[in-house]
A and B are shown apart, each in its own frame.
Chain A
Amino acid sequence: MSLVTSMESISELAKSWDTHAVSPAENRYDIVVTRGNLLTIVAELLRTRWGFLTAITARDVSTASGSAPGKEGEIPADRHFEIYYHFCRGPAVLTLRLSLPHEKPSVPSICGILPSASIQERELAETFGIEVEGLPKAGRLFLSDDWPAGLYPLRKDTTPQSIRDFTAVAPPPPATVENDATPGKFTVPIGPQHPALKEPAHFELNVDGEIVTGVSLRLGYVHRGIEKAAEGRPWVQNLYLMERVCGICSHIHSMAYALGVETVAGIAAPPRAQAIRVLIAEMERIHSHLLWLGVAAHEAGFDTLFMYTWRDRETIMDLLEQVTGNRVNYSVNLLGGVKYDVDPSRADAIRRGLDRLEPRINHYLGIVTTDESFLRRTRGIGVFSTDQADFLGVVGPTLRASNVHRDVRVDAPYSAYRDFPVTPVYDDACDLAARVTVRVKELQESCRLVRAVLDALPPGDRAVDFPRRVPEGEAIIRVEAPRGELFYYVRSAGGISPDRVKIRTPSLANWAYVMSVAVGHKLADIPMIVVGIDPCFSCNDRTFLIRQGDRKGILGWDDLRRYAMQRYGRRAE
């Protein structure tokens, strides 16, 4: 799938649809669509397997310049919504651009064609208040249950003040829609607090004995409104905000953001900075995959492997700390470069660490591929066919274990991956065992890459100067995070802060896998299947908590004490 053939195929398709197509960048094509032909075009794209749907971005185009949120009551006449459907094929990105009026915006749902799109469409409906026609009715997915109805956080006129005004007179939030679990069934709830989950999410599993007959999902327990927050902060501050999207893969988020902003500004980081970014990204992948291996082993009740992998993970954590001073949020990226250099002594320390780590990783590969008791919990479980995985747009190791040859580092090399090519790992077994194997083999590959980068670190500066204001423009950045393809849409209106930052995290794309394979499996397999995508909830939920009625504000110590005495008073007497 070369870039040229992909781009040619788009222009041919565009001709056949009789639409207006422009190419804003070398690897991009934009096609303006209407409500009328959206479904036809999406269906055609998916039928011909042109590519996969990677993200749906919405924008509230408030003002002509679009930068500052319009003052209240002062909505410009040309205000409208834009929705972008981003399809990817190899390095090429095709964006279907749809404009919607500001009054009662509605769009037909594409989930009839592509079921996995429903999660992103629900996000659209909740955060922008755009009605998605044909979306199955379900409770909220991301926003908290006490978020007032009719208030849409990502609209430009939603500001802290407008939220206060709204909630002062707002009707109470709608009664929580009961789970779509069928009544009369035995339902096992998993989460939001449950030992199987390291982060909050909520699954309702209908079971018949030990067999799962239905699943429903609720996310958003750690939604922090990062996309909204980004619009109110300067470009540089957002770097630190993006780093906090995820606690495990913090570097890759700030890297994707930095690459996006640099693309919009037309400034490239120097080669040494690019190499260091890749170095840290690969070290982060080692840390993330080792962490995952431990969690997967724990879900399978194999605590010995869990303890050993986490012990060895300390090695890479210590190395990251040596280079950056931090174990988790490395804070390596700057707009226009990196903050830390890797000198020869640090490079040697990393090599020594890898000398220790590599034999361990090889040993773990032996365990996960030969240990009979572990294989009994992974082999033939959660089988997801190549065809399904490709169609539903699953990403990362989850996808590659289903033998779909897709890895952003290979297909569309970014940063220094052109100079340090990656040998991607695939597996044709399509089951959980394959997902484990692929990740452990990626560990080996990452170790090799780290060494390659250390051996050929380009000389030069760490960073270049970066302006405070970024010229108007937009960029789409795709990077390969440990969990799969991470998508960033960055748009500047020429101001000191972004106009829109859209993040589509790999975990969000991978829920389609969990939801489609869970039914029919045994209850005991579900934690394993969930962990098979290496879910990262803090990534995929990114809120505000508004209290209403008698639960005003934050409860202080005295309030808590009073509450406790009320609650237990009867018993105490």
Chain B
Amino acid sequence: MSTFLIIVTYLIFPGGLFVVAGGLVYEYADRKLVARFQNRVGPRWFQPLADFVKLLVKEEIVPAGVNAGLFVWLPVAALAAALAAALYVPMAGLRPSWSFNGDLIATVYLLMMMTLCIGVAGANTSDRFSLVGAVRALTQLFAYEAPFLLALLGPAILAGSWRISEINGYAQGHLWMIVTQPLGFLVALVGLMGKLELPPFDAPEAETEIVSGALTEYSGRGLAFFRLGRDIELFIGLTLISAFYLGGLANPLQFLVKTLVLLLVTAGLQSLFARLRIDQTVGLWWRIGALLALVQLLILVILKTSGVPL
């Protein structure tokens, strides 16, 4: 690849601008859908972009008693990790820009950076809401991360590869894995909602208890980056799950249809439930989520070793 192409890959497509734009569009779709489910009007199409630009021009207040370096750079790290993850995922149904054996694990870790940064950002300030929020965010991380990884492991075992592009290719040529591994799909989708702290898993930022959780002290650029990072994670997460469980992503049209259907389901789930308390979230993941994912994995391993074609 020429230097020019590499720069394009990083900055314009599929990394950089494309992912940013995609994240904002998907945030809009998510907000609009939830609003309609709740009998509200919802935002206009450019609202996420307007929010982002507005936050960028606002004053960034660094509160007393924090490590200023960490405070400023954590949002950047979170955003960078989310952007980097986009390079290994079949964005828009095209071949990922980079691929190596084991990139699935790398991507999962890159996606985890976000929550980790939010947790550290919350713990960095002396604000009590942030501290409680940080503890909750990290507690939740330990709850959903293992089941989520196990749920992504299922397709990898079937495909016999740790490479996202190969799993995507395998999924295109076989029966949709949502049919063969419904439990895994469920855990992965709900895991994604937990990862993004979407309702009912929004205890780490429960506004009626702890204002904005770990991000209470953030304003301006830092907040804009965290929010953008989360949008990008939503975008990538949906892509990853549809590539694995919804028969792979072969072209941009498939990509659009499959991810939007998935978004519709998550928006529905967001408006159906009351918020879970953090102890209930942890209980749910370890008692049910992890168990389901393990059962799914066990079934897969037994079927695969006994030579049943899937």
Q: Which of B105-113, B160-168, B231-239, B275-283 contacts A (4 or more CB under 8 A)?
A: B275-283
Given A195-B208, A527-B209, decide whether A302 and B273 contact each other with a Cβ distance below 8 A: yes
Q: What are the residues of chain A within 8 A of B39 when measuring CB–CB? A: 307-308, 311
Given A195-B207, A196-B208, decide whether A304 and B276 contact each other with a Cβ distance below 8 A: no
Q: Which of B89-97, B116-124, B196-204 contacts A (4 or more CB under 8 A)?
A: B196-204
Q: What are the residues of chain B within 8 A of A186 when measuring CB–CB? A: 128, 131
Query: Chain B contact residues (Cβ within 8 angstroms of A): what range?
Result: 20 to 34
Q: What are the residues of chain A within 8 A of B132 when measuring CB–CB? A: 188, 207, 210, 523
In the bound complex, do residue B199 and residue A376 qualify as a contact, i.e. CB atoms below 8 Å apart?
no
Closest residue of B by beta carbon distance from A302: B274
In the bound complex, do residue A308 and residue B128 qualify as a contact, i.e. CB atoms below 8 Å apart?
no
Q: Specify which of B274, B276, B277 lies most central, judged by the most chain A CB atoms within 10 Å of its CB.
A: B274
Q: Chain B nearest CB: distance from A188 CB in Å? A: 5
The contact string, 1 if C-beta is below 8 Å from chain A, for chain B 199-222, is 110110011111100000000000
Partner of A188 from the list B128, B200, B203 (CB cut-off 8 Å) is B128
Closest residue of A by beta carbon distance from B128: A188
In the bound complex, do residue B272 and residue A188 qualify as a contact, i.e. CB atoms below 8 Å apart?
no
Q: What are the residues of chain A within 8 A of B277 when measuring CB–CB? A: 376-377, 522, 524-525
In the bound complex, do residue A376 and residue B274 qualify as a contact, i.e. CB atoms below 8 Å apart?
yes
In the bound complex, do residue B279 and residue A374 qualify as a contact, i.e. CB atoms below 8 Å apart?
no
Given A188-B128, A304-B38, A522-B279, decide whether A373 and B206 contact each other with a Cβ distance below 8 A: no
Would you list which residues of chain B between 110 and 160 have a CB under 8 Å from chain A? 128-129, 131-132, 135
Q: What are the residues of chain A within 8 A of B210 when measuring CB–CB? A: 188, 523
CB of B287 within 8 Å of the partner chain? no
Closest residue of B by beta carbon distance from A308: B39
A196–B208 alpha-carbon span in the complex (Å): 4
The contact string, 1 if C-beta is below 8 Å from chain A, for chain B 39-69, is 1100000000000000000000000000000
Would you list which residues of chain B between 262 and 298 have a CB under 8 Å from chain A? 271-280
Closest residue of A by beta carbon distance from B38: A307
Q: What are the residues of chain B within 8 A of A209 when measuring CB–CB? A: 135
In the bound complex, do residue B274 and residue A374 qualify as a contact, i.e. CB atoms below 8 Å apart?
yes
In the bound complex, do residue A524 and residue B271 qualify as a contact, i.e. CB atoms below 8 Å apart?
no
Q: What are the residues of chain B within 8 A of A373 when measuring CB–CB? A: 200, 272-274, 276
Q: What are the residues of chain B within 8 A of A305 when measuring CB–CB? A: 274
In the bound complex, do residue B209 and residue A196 qualify as a contact, i.e. CB atoms below 8 Å apart?
yes
Closest residue of B by beta carbon distance from A377: B274
In the bound complex, do residue A301 and residue B128 qualify as a contact, i.e. CB atoms below 8 Å apart?
no
Would you list which residues of chain A between 484 and 532 have a CB under 8 Å from chain B? 522-527
Q: Chain B nearest CB: distance from A352 CB in Å? A: 21
In the bound complex, do residue B211 and residue A301 qualify as a contact, i.e. CB atoms below 8 Å apart?
no
CB of A300 within 8 Å of the partner chain? yes
Q: What are the residues of chain B within 8 A of A385 when measuring CB–CB? A: none
In the bound complex, do residue B206 and residue A301 qualify as a contact, i.e. CB atoms below 8 Å apart?
yes
Q: Chain B nearest CB: distance from A436 CB in Å? A: 11
Q: Chain B nearest CB: distance from A300 CB in Å? A: 4
A248–B298 alpha-carbon span in the complex (Å): 58
CB of B176 within 8 Å of the partner chain? no
Give the A-B contact count at a CB cut-off of 8 A: 77
Partner of B199 from the list A188, A303, A523 (CB cut-off 8 Å) is A303
The contact string, 1 if C-beta is below 8 Å from chain B, for chain A 205-247, is 0010110000000000000000000000000000000000000
> By the criterion of a CB under 8 Å from any partner CB, how many residues of chain A are at the interface?
33
A194–B129 alpha-carbon span in the complex (Å): 11
In the bound complex, do residue A524 and residue B274 qualify as a contact, i.e. CB atoms below 8 Å apart?
no
A151–B275 alpha-carbon span in the complex (Å): 47
A189–B130 alpha-carbon span in the complex (Å): 12
CB of B37 within 8 Å of the partner chain? yes
Q: Chain B nearest CB: distance from A370 CB in Å? A: 13
A305–B275 alpha-carbon span in the complex (Å): 12
A187–B127 alpha-carbon span in the complex (Å): 11
Q: Chain B nearest CB: distance from A371 CB in Å? A: 7
Closest residue of B by beta carbon distance from A307: B38
Q: What are the residues of chain B within 8 A of A302 when measuring CB–CB? A: 273-275
In the bound complex, do residue A301 and residue B37 qualify as a contact, i.e. CB atoms below 8 Å apart?
no
Q: Chain A nearest CB: distance from B43 CB in Å? A: 15
In the bound complex, do residue B279 and residue A304 qualify as a contact, i.e. CB atoms below 8 Å apart?
no
In the bound complex, do residue A297 and residue B274 qualify as a contact, i.e. CB atoms below 8 Å apart?
yes
In the bound complex, do residue A304 and residue B280 qualify as a contact, i.e. CB atoms below 8 Å apart?
no
A527–B277 alpha-carbon span in the complex (Å): 12
A189–B131 alpha-carbon span in the complex (Å): 13
Q: Chain A nearest CB: distance from B7 CB in Å? A: 38
The contact string, 1 if C-beta is below 8 Å from chain B, for chain A 172-198, is 000000000000001111000011100
Would you list which residues of chain A between 526 and 542 have a CB under 8 Å from chain B? 526-527
In the bound complex, do residue A189 and residue B128 qualify as a contact, i.e. CB atoms below 8 Å apart?
yes
In the bound complex, do residue A523 and residue B274 qualify as a contact, i.e. CB atoms below 8 Å apart?
no
Partner of B275 from the list A300, A311, A371 (CB cut-off 8 Å) is A300
Partner of A301 from the list B129, B135, B274, B279 (CB cut-off 8 Å) is B274
Given A301-B274, A307-B39, decide whether A188 and B129 contact each other with a Cβ distance below 8 A: yes
CB of A121 within 8 Å of the partner chain? no
In the bound complex, do residue B275 and residue A301 qualify as a contact, i.e. CB atoms below 8 Å apart?
yes
Q: Chain B nearest CB: distance from A521 CB in Å? A: 10
CB of A299 within 8 Å of the partner chain? yes
Would you list which residues of chain A between 307 and 328 have a CB under 8 Å from chain B? 307-308, 311
Would you list which residues of chain B between 174 and 213 have a CB under 8 Å from chain A? 199-200, 202-203, 206-211
Q: Chain B nearest CB: distance from A87 CB in Å? A: 37
A299–B277 alpha-carbon span in the complex (Å): 12
CB of A351 within 8 Å of the partner chain? no
Closest residue of A by beta carbon distance from B284: A376
Would you list which residues of chain A between 366 and 382 have a CB under 8 Å from chain B? 371, 373-374, 376-377
Partner of A304 from the list B37, B128, B207, B209 (CB cut-off 8 Å) is B37
In the bound complex, do residue A524 and residue B278 qualify as a contact, i.e. CB atoms below 8 Å apart?
yes
In the bound complex, do residue B202 and residue A187 qualify as a contact, i.e. CB atoms below 8 Å apart?
no
CB of A97 within 8 Å of the partner chain? no
Closest residue of B by beta carbon distance from A306: B38
Q: Specify which of A195, A304, A522, A527 lies most central, judged by the most chain B CB atoms within 10 Å of its CB.
A: A304
CB of A298 within 8 Å of the partner chain? yes
Q: What are the residues of chain B within 8 A of A207 when measuring CB–CB? A: 132
Q: Which A-B residue pairs are the 4 nearest by beta carbons? A: A301-B275, A302-B274, A373-B273, A196-B208
- Pairs A–B under 8 Å by Cβ, sample size 7: A186-B128, A196-B209, A299-B208, A304-B37, A373-B274, A376-B276, A377-B274
Interface residues of chain B, those whose CB is within 8 Å of chain A, are: 37-40, 128-129, 131-132, 135, 199-200, 202-203, 206-211, 271-280
| 6 additional contacts (CB under 8 A) given A376-B274, A377-B274 | A209-B135, A300-B274, A302-B274, A307-B39, A376-B280, A377-B275
